[in-house]
Amino acid sequence: MTAAVEIKDVAFSWRGRTAFSLAVPEFSVAAGDRVFLLGESGSGKSTFLSLICGINLPDRGDVAIAGTSLSDLKPAARDRFRAENIGVIFQMFNLLPYASPLENILLPLSFAPNLRRRIKEPTSEALRLTRALGLPDALVLRAGTTELSIGQQQRVAAARALIGQPKLILADEPTSSLDASAQEAFVALLMEQAAAVGATLIMVSHDQRLAAQFDRQVDLSDIAQVTRGDR
């Protein structure tokens, strides 16, 4: 069976006043697995996820998602591939502040024609997700994102990542602003929605207490080498 994520001999560098490089000799995730990726602040977690979803390309090596090499795709094709196959929950949510929650959730459909064809009733699907995540319809349809609490914004970001039933869900510290009980509840909801569509889930966090809810835990320091230095 083709792996959901396959990384081989990858190296990537941020260049600037402070140099940062990340090297990953080998890493793979089977389809349907739920992986907790542990890493302290500054360990390269966000950079690692940016390589998996193709926001950044490696300087060397290959990142393949469900058998498709991201480096083989031209920029526009790579953006479409990400929109149609990968749901990303960003650490800072990246919601449009003056759009409604519904408009934020449906935004990925603007970049993915195949996704639009697959979802017959986008609004109904968005509301199904937000109801499952505990958001009332009135809030989703009328409120501006700036009116939402941090927890509500996280749920909108999760619904946006789940719209269209992506094959792969990536979550970058999605519970960092929540208390312990809310963290566990959010992860449980994310797991439930991922399991419903058979999606692969990779969540990065520095909070090891959440690891027990996942199929396996991976310490980023065990699979990646980080090098820093002033330029």
Q: What is the pLDDT of residues 38-78, one digit of tens each?
A: 987 778 888 999 999 999 999 999 999 999 999 999 999 99
Q: How is residue 66 written in tokens?
A: 């469900």
* DSSP-derived 3-state class of residue 138: helix
- The predicted model scores a pTM of 0.89
Q: What is the pLDDT of residues 6-25, one digit of tens each?
A: 999 999 998 765 678 999 99
Sequence-ordered strand ranges (E) for 84-224: 86-89, 168-172, 200-205, 216-219
DSSP state of 212: G
Q: Which domains does the chain have, with CATH numbers?
A: 5-230 (3.40.50.300)
Closest-CA residue to 42 (of 230, 220, 223, 222):
220
Query: Is 71:58 a contact under the CB 8 Å cutoff?
Result: yes
Spell out the per-residue pLDDT of the chain, length 231, in tens.
789 999 999 999 987 656 789 999 999 999 999 999 998 777 888 899 999 999 999 999 999 999 999 999 999 999 989 989 999 998 888 899 889 999 999 998 888 877 778 888 999 999 999 998 889 999 999 878 888 988 889 889 989 998 988 989 999 988 776 777 778 878 888 888 889 888 999 999 888 888 988 999 999 999 999 888 653
What is the Cβ-side half-sphere exposure of residue 119, based on CA atoms within 13 angstroms? 22
